[in-house]
Structure 1
Amino acid sequence: MAAVSSQRTLDEMQPDFTSGRVFDKVFAEGMALVERTASYLDGPGREMSRKLPREAGLTYAAWSMELTARLMQAASWLVMQRAVRDGDMSREDALSPKYRLRREAPALEASEQRGLGLPDAFLDLVENSEALYNRICRLDEAIYQSGTEAHEGPVNRQIEALKAAAQQGAFDPLKIWGGTR
C-alpha cells in the first residue's frame, strides 16, 4: 500500500511541478546560483580567502566545501526532475532513496558570521544557497513523501471513500463520514 501511495503522489505532483513555471524558475535560479558561486570561489573568493585572518580562513575553507556540496546536490536534484519530465528517467527510478534530498546537517548560519571577517559576497552566496537547498528539500518532501502516514490517515480514507462513492453514483456523505470513525 505504501508504494501505491508514494507512486500516486509522484504521478500527481511531479508532472504538475516540473511542467510549470515554478519549476522553470527554480531550475534557472538554482543553476545561476551554481554558476555565480563557482565563479566567486574560483576567482575573487580564492584571492580574498588568502587574506583572511586564520579563524575566518578556516571557516571560509570549511563553508566553501559545504556550500559546493549542497549546491551540487541541489543541481543534481533539479537535473533529475527535468530528466523525469523529459522522459529520460522513469518515475520509478526517481523514487529511489539515493535521489532524495533531505537536510541532515545543520544549515550554515551566514548571519551569525557577518562582521567576523568573512566577505559579505561569500556570506550572501551562503544565504542564497541555504535558501535554495531548503526550498528543494521541501519540494522533494512534497513530491516524494517517504512516509505513508499522510496517505493512509482517516482523512485520506474518507477522501478515497468519497471518490469511490462518486464513481459508483452512490454519494452519501453522511454515511461516508460516519463510517470511518
Structure 2
Amino acid sequence: MANKDHPTEIGHPYQSNFAIVPFSRTYDEAFTLLVEARNYLSANRTASRRGLHGSARMTQFVEEMRMTSRLIRAMAWLLAVRAVEEGEIDWEDAVDLDDLMVDLQICVRGDCDEATEFPPALLDLMERAHSLYMRTARMELQVAARCSA
C-alpha cells in the first residue's frame, strides 16, 4: 500500500514517461530479442559448444545463462512498467531494490576473455542483451531513486 507521507504521494503519484513511444520500442525490442535468443539457444545448444573444451565450454555456458538472465530481468521490468501504466500496481510495488542490486552484480559482469571463440551470432545476441539490460536497469534505478527519495 502506498504511504501517504511518501514524497511521491504529495499532490499526485510518481508519474513516469515510460508510456511514450521509446518504452513501446524497448518492450518490442526485449520481446523480439528474448524470442531470438530462445530460438538460437534451442537450435545451437550442442553445436555452438562443439570444438570447445573444458573451461571454454563452461565459460560459454555461463555467458549464455547470463545473457538469458539479462533478457528475463529486462522483460520483467518492462512488464512491471506496463502493469503500473495500466494501474494494476503502484511504482513502489514495481521496484525491488534488493533484487535489482543482486541482478546488477550478475548481469553487468562480462568477464569473458574466451568470447572470441564464441560463434558470431551468439556474440551479437550477447551484446544486444547487455545493451537492453543496461537501459532497463538505468530506468529501474531512476524510478527506485524517485520512489525512495
| TM-score, normalised relative to structure 1 | 0.66
Question: RMSD across aligned C-alpha pairs, in angstroms?
Answer: 2.8
Partner of 1:62: 62
Cα distance per residue 1:22-54 (max 9 Å; x no partner): 100110011111111111111124322233233
Distance 2:25 2:134 in 1: 16
Partner of 1:24: 24
Distance 1:144 1:70 in 2: 19
Instruction: Rate the CA distance shift 1:68–1:96 in 2: closer, same or farther, 3 A.
Output: closer
Q: Give the CA deviation at 1:59.
A: 0.9
Query: Does residue 1:104 correspond to 2:97, yes or no?
Result: no
SS at 2:130 equivalent: helix
Query: Does residue 1:76 correspond to 2:79, yes or no?
Result: no
Partner of 1:94: 94
Instruction: Rate the CA distance shift 1:109–1:96 in 2: closer, same or farther, 3 A.
Output: closer
Q: If you compute each CA radius of gyration, which structure gives the higher value, 1 or 2?
A: 1
Map of 1:28-43 to 2, 5 A cutoff? 28-43=28-43
SS at 1:140 equivalent: helix
AA aligned opposite 2:105: E
Distance 2:100 2:115 in 1: 32
Cα distance per residue 1:63-88 (max 9 Å; x no partner): 11121122111111111111111122
Greater relative contact order (Cα < 8 A, sep 6+): 2
**C-alpha contact (below 8 Å) 2:67/2:129 kept by paired residues:** yes
Partner of 1:139: 139
Aligned partner of 1:11 among 5, 9, 14: 14
Cα distance per residue 1:86-117 (max 9 Å; x no partner): 1222334224446746622342256x5453x2
**C-alpha contact (below 8 Å) 1:56/1:118 kept by paired residues:** no
**C-alpha contact (below 8 Å) 1:10/1:143 kept by paired residues:** no
Cα distance per residue 1:92-147 (max 9 Å; x no partner): 4224446746622342256x5453x2111111111111111111111111222165
Could you list the runs of 5+ residues in structure 2 that have no partner in the other structure? none
Cα distance per residue 1:5-25 (max 9 Å; x no partner): 35579612x2x21x2001001
| TM-score, normalised relative to structure 2 | 0.78
Instruction: Rate the CA distance shift 1:95–1:61 in 2: closer, same or farther, 3 A.
Output: closer
Distance 1:53 1:123 in 2: 18
Instruction: Rate the CA distance shift 1:147–1:90 in 2: closer, same or farther, 3 A.
Output: closer
Paired residues, what number? 142
Could you list the runs of 5+ residues in structure 1 that have no partner in the other structure? 149-181
**C-alpha contact (below 8 Å) 1:45/1:122 kept by paired residues:** no
AA aligned opposite 2:35: E
